[in-house]
Amino acid sequence: MRDSFLSFSPPLIGEEEINEVVQTLRSGWLTTGPRAKQFEQDFAQFIGADAALAVHSGTHAMLVGLAALGIGHGDEVITTPMTFCSTVHVIEQLGARPVLVDIEPETLNIDPREVARAVCPRTRAVMPVHLYGHPCEMDAILDIAARHGLYILEDAAHALPARYKGRMVGTLGTLTAFSFYATKNLTTGEGGMLTGSASIIEQARTWSLHGMSRGAYQRNTAEGSWYYEVVLPGFKCNMTDIQAALGLQQLKKLPQFQQRRKEIVRRYSQALAEYEELQIPVERAEVESAWHLYPVRLNLDRLTIDRARFIEELRARNIGSSVHFIPIHVQLYYRDKYGYKPQDFPVAYDNYLRLVSLPLNLRMTDSDVEDVLEAVADVLAEHRR
């Protein structure tokens, strides 16, 4: 057994990122400025998007995206219960109603057939979540949106750099929101990016900084003007140059980061496929997953313990793990407001009870990977029926 605890998902920060941050601190410009602008341009080019807006979090990317699309009171937005709460919070915060639909049993992504059934005259948008980094079935969702005149705002918090049928996530729907939280494939500590057409991104930019016609860099540099107008009741969501400094260097490293993730995933899948007590994650032939997470599902009928005990047993062997996610419809606020029952979305709920995310991060050595596999094998051997 390991002598030290293997953390689930720490970030990997190198000297390049540190030096870029130091240069930013010495530049005299810390908030949104030249580095944030450069990060937006570099990111849009990397993804192949028309334009990008750097914001303070992936949550803010979704919030200003929906606001720029005009989503508000009386509108409905279809999304999935199998996601982090921020996906649904932003719909609520704008006064719209989140409409949850169940998920596919294979990928655990939103089920397009359920999306189609949920469309009504109040529906304005669909928010698919590319869970764990595996792209949703976007052709079907795009077809539904086209037939009903709906917007698509993709939650791609897990999906950088994923591809769907050769196209990068971030170029498929109306808008796409990315997260650069500390655990993500690319991190700025906190941070996010919204991609889409130049016209919608500029509208979102206004929403992202108090609804002002000019930001601080446009007002307070030699080329700027002090005058501004407040044209919208906007939010405070802008990314600082300190955050962007990290992002500029992380983006350069992203291809090699992903190569390492894929190596870990290959080793996991090769070793874990033999166990009847587990169901390993899939990667459909038409996609390239970003492999943000490696979630296994326990076949509980073949074990004498439940998921909570399985996680405890891993921790006792110094292996960190987690669960992604506790479905939205069993969370107290949404359960009570909308009267949800656990089995209202049976695929989401039943799979939630079996899910365990194993460590998958860039600081893991080959030895760390083998320690995880050894611990899993040991727990299964001790508690199989």
Distance CA 261, CA 264 (A): 5
The pair of structure tokens assigned to 355 is 């899910």
DSSP annotation string for 200-223: HHHHHHHHHBTTBSS-HHHHHSTT
The pair of structure tokens assigned to 158 is 């897990």
**Residues 82-113: b if buried by 16+ CB within 10 A, e if exposed:** bbbebbbbbbeebebbbbbbbbbeebbbbbbe
| Beta pairing partners, 151 | 125
The pair of structure tokens assigned to 291 is 């492999």
The pair of structure tokens assigned to 38 is 């450069």
307 neighbors 313 (Cβ within 8 angstroms): no
Site of tokens 């110094």: 318
141 neighbors 119 (Cβ within 8 angstroms): no
156 neighbors 162 (Cβ within 8 angstroms): yes
Residues with Cβ within 8 Å of residue 343, at least 6 apart in sequence: 349
Written as one letter, the residue type at 335 is R
* First-residue to last-residue Cα distance in the chain: 23
Active site residues: 184
